Amino acid sequence: MGRSIATIKDVAREAGVSISTVSSVVNGNKPVSEDLAARVRDAVQRLNFQPNHMARSLHAKRTQTLAYLTPDITNVAFLRTFKAIEATAHARGYSVFLLGTDGSVKTTEEAIDRVIGLRMDGAFFTMSWALAQTELRLHRLADRGIAMVGVSGSYNLPEIDCFLRDEEGGGYQVGDYLARLGHRNILCVGPLSSRAADMRWGGLRTALAAGAGEAKLTMAATEGYTAGAAYDAMQAAIGARAGFSAVVAFNDAIASGALAALADNGIEIPAGVSFVSFGDAHMDFHRPQITSVTFDEEGIAALAANRLIDRIEGIVTAPPAHERLPLKLSIRPSSRRIDS
């Protein structure tokens, strides 16, 4: 146990060469005679040498670490994004920290402090509401030359690359679909004061207006994004006899709470009511399967990761791009045609 870790110096001594020669061999960036190179490789092997990352970073002023900030590390969609980001990052030699913000400004600030403190090279942001509140302080990162990109979420920050979802388009697809099935009274369950919600419900409303003369949209507002809140909101809506033939849930967590409330009231899907969700592919095994708006998390993640690293490494210097990636409506048996 006492055996201390081998340094480049130890390797140099062991191989009988200078430390700069060792460095050249290890990094393979400077020509070295085969003879010495072999001896160095040998010594590295014997001593189990691994370059000290701290020393390297200190010199390079780069740490090869990134951060992924997201409001809820428990949300499967974000996790899938993280995983994909990590894969790309690892492939390019970067490690990434998963930092939860709990959707609170304070925790977000702490996370940002951490990014700065650890001198991370870049950060991915889930473009959520709390983040937008923090926006003003994001310059702290920019000032220090820390690269940033936005993923998922709905807020577009003009200063940075953003790879977001076409929420409006997604909402439109849902509305269009429901309208075609003959639905005229739709209950939306989800948070009220969220940009994402505005866009989703907005798209929905547009489609309804276009496709189905008279249509009514009722809101069942949840406090926050939890299944519990959705359960309560749904119970309230049922109690109020809101009179709806279809329910649209803001996301899978919301969906699962709403579905539970529906079940507890003996309302069956799709017989009693049709159900659609903005899904995180969380509920593949729910029965009946839920029609939902899905998204290529992995694709967007790879895009974002490569862009961030390209910025860091100076490969891309163009002005920030703002992309809205398409959502797809996966139709499953949770909705049915009704007679008007």
Partner DNA sequence: ATGAAAGCGCTAACAA
Partner DNA sequence: TTGTTAGCGCTTTCAT
**Where do contacts with DNA occur on this chain (CB under 7 A)?**
4-5, 7-9, 17-21, 23-24, 26-27, 29-33, 35-37, 49-52, 55-56, 58-61
> Binding to a second copy (CB under 8 A): which residues in 135-164?
140, 142-145
Closer by beta carbon to a second copy, 213 or else 223: 223
> Which segment (22-30, 31-39, 97-105, 308-316) binds a second copy by CB under 8 A?
97-105
CB of 51: closest distance to a second copy in angstroms?
8
Q: Which of 234, 241, 240 is nearest to 259 (CA)?
A: 234
Residues in the chain: 340
Angle in degrees, 0-180, between the axes of helices 252-264 and 227-239, rounded to the nearest 10: 40
> Binding to a second copy (CB under 8 A): which residues in 222-241?
227, 231
Instruction: Say if residues 149 and 161 touch (Cβ distance below 8 Å).
Output: yes
CB of 49: closest distance to DNA in angstroms?
7
Residue type, 321: A
Give Cα separations from 67 to 146, 210, 224, 305 (angstroms): 11, 42, 24, 11
Which entry of a second copy, DNA, none binds 315, CB below 5 to 8 A by partner kind?
none
Q: What's the CA gap between 78 and 70, in Å, rounded?
A: 7
CB of 52: closest distance to DNA in angstroms?
3
How does DSSP assign 161-174, residue by residue? EEEEE-HHHHHHHH
Q: Which of 277, 306, 325 is nearest to 124 (CA)?
A: 306
Q: Which residues bind a second copy (CB under 8 A)?
A: 1, 3, 5, 48, 50-55, 57-58, 63, 65, 73-74, 76, 79-80, 82-83, 86, 90, 95-98, 100, 110, 114, 116-119, 140, 142-145, 227, 231, 256-257, 259-260, 263-264, 284-287
